[in-house]
Every structure is written in structure tokens, then in C-alpha cells.
Amino acid sequence: MKRVLVPLADGCEDLEAITITDLLVRAGAEVVRAGLKPGEVTAGRGARMLPDTVLECVKNDTFDMIALPGGRPGADHLAESAVLRDMVKNQFEAGRWVAAICAAPRALAAAGVLENRTVTCFPSALDGLAPASTTVTENPMEVDGHLITAKGPGVAMDFTLLLIETLWNKAHRKEVEGPLQRPGIGGR
């Protein structure tokens, strides 16, 4: 079973956090929702989520992927977490998948994993934070090595379907995508 960490912080983007979690569970992943601190997380638009655990409790665990939802100030809280920075850096250096959407690449910059990488993010999210060697594009999504980034909430479903395809394969992505009834894919 694929194991994915989804760190949750107050002020995260509701749509991204819920879409990432929902679709990965549909795909059959063990999704570990970890808060930065104990208790409920309130997303930016008011959705309240109860994490499975606290990040500190899983800091030494191995994950196939770490998938970071964006939103602000949620992404800032992720970037400020020393535990998460270490986890992202270790995951990246081990050649395991790291994914971030919207403003969450701020946490990637804080972890020091953007050197010589091509990424995308919400406009201005990386202003003054990305190393000079980082190329920031306007594309909806970017894949560079074991790093996947996406622009924002409007591509949350496509982003998560790409995560599923990356962790499994294209056929499994289609199995998950069909029942979603997206236009042209199992829908009208």
C-alpha cells in the first residue's frame, strides 16, 4: 500500500487539502493527515479537519510521498515548521516523491530543495524565496525529478490525479478518475 503524508496547517487551502486527501484515499493510499500541533485544523475558508496525528509523531516514518496543500497563511506555517522542513529535505534527498500546490512551494524553498529545479506555484508565492537557480513557470503543473508542483486550487484535481498516476500508473489513475464523472472522462 502506498503511504502518503499530508501535513495540515491552520489557514491551508480547503479545496486542495480535501481534494488531495479524498482522491488519494479513493486510490487506495494510506493517507496520514498530520497537524503541526495537536487538535483541529481550520482551513482558510473555514473547513475544520481533524488530523490523524501530529507531525512530530511521524517525523521518522517513511512515506512514498509527502503532498503539501497550499493556501496562506497555511503554507507559511508549513515553511516555519522545522520538523516538516527536515522531513521534506530527507524525503527529497532519498529520491522519494515530494509534491506541493499553490503557495506550498514556500515550504520547499524553506527546506532547501529548489536548487536548479523547475517549479510552478501561485503567482508571487516564491517571490524572494526561491534560489536564483530555480525556474518558476506559469504552467499549471511541473514535474522535475521527484518533485511535483502545481499552480493553485483550480488544478487541485488534475494535480492529485497526477500524484496517483505517479505513485501507481496511468491505468490506476483512470480507474479513480472514471467514477468522478469529469467531462469527457466517464461523464458527459
Measured distance CA(22)–CA(160) in Å, rounded? 9
- Identify whether 187 is part of a domain: no
If one counts the domains in the chain, the total is: 1
Q: What range does the domain containing 81 cover?
A: 3-180
Please give the order of strands across the beta sheet that includes 65-68: 53-54, 30-35, 3-8, 65-68, 97-101, 147-150, 141-144
Cβ(31)–Cβ(7) under 8 Å?
no
- Identify whether 118 is part of a domain: yes
Measured distance CA(89)–CA(126) in Å, rounded? 18
Helix (H, G, I), strand (E, B) or coil at 118: strand
- Identify whether 185 is part of a domain: no
- Identify whether 80 is part of a domain: yes
Measured distance CA(95)–CA(78) in Å, rounded? 21
- Per the annotation, the verdict on 121 as an active-site residue is no
Q: Evaluate if pTM is beyond 0.85.
A: yes
- Residue-level pLDDT, tens digit, the chain, 188 residues: 999 999 999 999 999 999 999 999 999 999 999 999 999 999 999 999 999 999 999 999 999 999 999 999 999 999 999 999 999 999 999 999 999 999 999 999 999 999 999 999 999 999 999 999 999 999 999 999 999 999 999 999 999 999 999 999 999 999 999 999 988 766 54
- Identify whether 42 is part of a domain: yes
* Catalytic site residue from 12, 57, 102, 121: 102
CATH number at residue 59: 3.40.50.880
- Identify whether 144 is part of a domain: yes
- Identify whether 186 is part of a domain: no
Annotate 42-76 with b (16+ C-beta within 10 A) or e (fewer): bbbeeeebebeeebeebeeeebbbbbbbbbbebbb
Copy the grid coordinates of residue 56: 512530530
